[in-house]
A and B are shown apart, each in its own frame.
Chain A
Amino acid sequence: MCSVGGPTDIDLPEDRVAAKNYRCKECGERFKGIGKHPMCPSCQSEDVAEI
């Protein structure tokens, strides 16, 4: 993703970010994931389910 952490001036409209909602099966964390390999931001587990 360009311009994150950089000279951003960024617009991140939700309809342009291909994010899906996930729930971690290990720790229960809910998060918005992008990319082909969603990973829990709390416990780093890849055992997640789309919700």
Chain B
Amino acid sequence: MNVSLGNDVLMVKGLHSFLLAASVNEAFPLCIESSDQEYCQGVRPGDLVVVSAPGSGPVEPALMLLELVRTYHLPLIVLPKNHPGSKRIPYVVSVGPEIQTNCSIVRGTHPEQHLVCSSDELAGLTLAGTTDGIAIDNLPAAISYEVIKTEKYC
């Protein structure tokens, strides 16, 4: 299934979780900062930024987080394993041309770029950037989606 988006944001909703996905408009280097290293990923137009909220939470901060990456190209900061602040941050981010959701991975412990942590109900989705939006594969019947217009919050 293809969803035309332009600059808008796709929201995939389950009962207890959601994720947001949007296309990147311009090339930029996305830097990922760990405690002792910096990794930089070249991001291209048409790549996706996905923000997943495996435990639900408000949508607006997730939209802001998405735009901090997509529009403002802010780096992502990685907390060290077992950091006490990890439990206070409810969203995870993945960026790339194709992203799969997976609930069997331990949140935050896999560096593969094409996977993003999700809840059980949203696991198994594949999101891929297309010329005008996003292609979604394996969307369960019980899961709905909507397009959030960017002019509502930008």
Contact = CB atoms under 8 A, between A and B. Distances in A.
Interface residues of B, number: 48
B108 A41 contact: no
A49 interface: no
Contact of A33 (B40, B86, B87): B40
A17 interface: yes
Q: How large is the interface on A (under 10, 10 to 19, 20 to 34, 35 or more residues)?
A: 20 to 34
Contacts of B38: 31-32, 41
Contacts of B113: 1, 34-35
A47 B38 CA distance: 19
A6 B29 contact: no
A11 B31 contact: no
Contacts of A13: 111
Interface of A: 1-14, 16-19, 31-41, 44, 46
